[in-house]
Structure 1
């Protein structure tokens, strides 16, 4: 491992400004230490347009690489050290299924605004763009959903039902204001196609997807944490189940959780923070604030796809760039204009808020 790390450092030095390595917070420490830019999905999306390097090496899952391609400058190449690193949540909202649902809703008189979590495929983002929608991240979901609701036509939030419900509750929506789609083989279920069905008037429609990693965190784990660490604070990512979030002292994006850990370490030394999100990030926060604040995971939550990015395949990617044999991420160019529009619309909404 030491030899691999040294080889990466030497390669980065030789490649210089030609390469920029980006990494999501859920990457392991061995990879993160080589990144020039780290962040959550929103921060990384914001940073891509300002990168001047010829090559962007994205340490994350596939949809993140696609987003980087959409936001990169003409001529820039985006490389994924682990092209097989996918996102289970992103696969829960097939583009054609979403198009069928949106078409059925529109044909029935419900011109809802689709809001897709950024954890979705390029094809799904293109469908959302076609129907006048946008994307969001966990950091700006509240702002984006507020914008969509203000259009007065209702919102279809996909694919994460937990994030959709949690944000809806923050905006004052109750159980009568949201409906979890049942879905049939070709779009809405037969029952949902009935004009008398509640979905035709419900402000918030939720796609039946979730993040399997955050979905596994439970209220029982919160009870156990509070029993083991009296006086502790519990915070979690809003991809967790609503009943979990209801019992937390705070909830927010990865950047929010990072900032809260730093705040506690500075303002309440000796305190204990239990964090419900991907364990690589929690462990890193624990090491960062050791001696000031104890940071512990709510439960085991390792994303196997994020773990597919390693120092070994990062090194191989850099070597291929140096020798001119690297194969950059290629996307369907026909999907890019509407998909890119969803990302730029998100950034514009947030800039105006």
Structure 2
């Protein structure tokens, strides 16, 4: 009853304010339910660029809201959980990227979308886990500095002749998944396909059946003739997977695969954000212009 009341208030405020709510796949179920769009980083980046609404409530983490603000500077982008930071995004700085450019002057810089705006501004192009290989292949350079995720960088290196120079960042949720987790999952669910995210360690990727981005996992589960799947990413994805792929049985690779920052947004915070139209995420124009160029090069692919 309490949740229903808050949901009704959010719906009313959204209409009155002319707002749209978008949420990442890893958000809690209650937040996904009140969102107008749920997806992965690439889907949400594309959506942010084309939305008609003047107010975007972004239920995710800091770099996601920044990306929306960069692509739609004329809109008011709101981040309900202002302390929802991405630890991996904080593992590389703009200054470190400039130092890498000095060290490898012939290299291009590809940055994962999971980075601060300042890092995007120092990069040639952005990428997501879904399009990282295509992005790297599009670059006119034999060497590619890849920041910040070492695991995604090493995954990309499997599919390109270019020399990948990965930064030593990582997603703590995916990086702590192990081959032992895969072995235990196969023992518990012998008929299940094991799907993992490219942010996982190389040995975990080798032990899995398939590697997909979050939305790629959902598409595969829905279209596969199989009925059971072990899902190796943040466990929030299981909720939209159950909704979109009814009849399929999906199990987490690890019960510990929880991003605490993705769980900071709740219904009361979304309601408060719509009431106050705060906290707003902004990016200084001189940084936003350069970061936008890197993002738009990705979107053009």
Q: Which interval holds the TM-score relative to the shorter structure?
A: over 0.9
The two structures have a TM-score, normalised by structure 1, of: 0.81
CA RMSD, aligned part only?
1.5
- Residue 289 of structure 1 and its aligned partner are, at CA, apart by 4.0
Say yes or no: does 1:295 pair with 2:250: yes
Who is 2:158 aligned against?
169
- Residue 155 of structure 1 and its aligned partner are, at CA, apart by 0.4
Who is 1:305 aligned against?
261
Say yes or no: does 1:277 pair with 2:277: no
Contact 2:196 2:210 in 1 (8 A): yes
Who is 1:338 aligned against?
290
CA distance in 2 between counterparts of 1:260 and 1:88 reads: 28
Contact 2:25 2:240 in 1 (8 A): no
Which runs of no fewer than 5 residues in structure 1 stay unpaired?
Answer: 178-202
- Number of aligned pairs? 298
Contact 1:283 1:297 in 2 (8 A): no
* Aligned pair partner of 2:114 in 101, 113, 119: 119
Who is 1:196 aligned against?
none
CA distance in 2 between counterparts of 1:234 and 1:334 reads: 44
Q: Secondary structure at the match of 2:145?
A: strand
Who is 1:159 aligned against?
148
- Residue 57 of structure 1 and its aligned partner are, at CA, apart by 0.8
The 5 A counterparts of 1:180-329 are: 203-264=163-224, 267-268=225-226, 271-286=227-242, 289=245, 292-299=247-254, 300-321=256-277, 326-329=278-281
Q: Secondary structure at the match of 1:306?
A: coil
- Residue 258 of structure 1 and its aligned partner are, at CA, apart by 0.6
* Change in CA separation of 1:35 and 1:235 when aligned onto 2, cut-off 3 Å: same
CA distance in 2 between counterparts of 1:230 and 1:34 reads: 36
Who is 2:16 aligned against?
14
* Change in CA separation of 1:48 and 1:284 when aligned onto 2, cut-off 3 Å: closer
Q: Which runs of 4 or more aligned residues in structure 1 lie more than 3 Å from their structure 2 counterparts after TM superposition?
A: 286-290
CA distance in 2 between counterparts of 1:91 and 1:28 reads: 23
Who is 1:187 aligned against?
none
CA distance in 2 between counterparts of 1:346 and 1:249 reads: 28
User: Could you list the per-position Cα deviations for residues 114-155 of structure 1 after superposition, in whole angstroms to 9, with x for gaps in the alignment?
Assistant: 000000000111111xxxx1010011111001112xx13310
CA distance in 1 between counterparts of 2:279 and 2:80 reads: 10
CA distance in 1 between counterparts of 2:118 and 2:243 reads: 39
Which runs of no fewer than 5 residues in structure 2 stay unpaired?
Answer: none
Who is 2:68 aligned against?
68
CA distance in 2 between counterparts of 1:296 and 1:82 reads: 28
* Change in CA separation of 1:312 and 1:153 when aligned onto 2, cut-off 3 Å: same
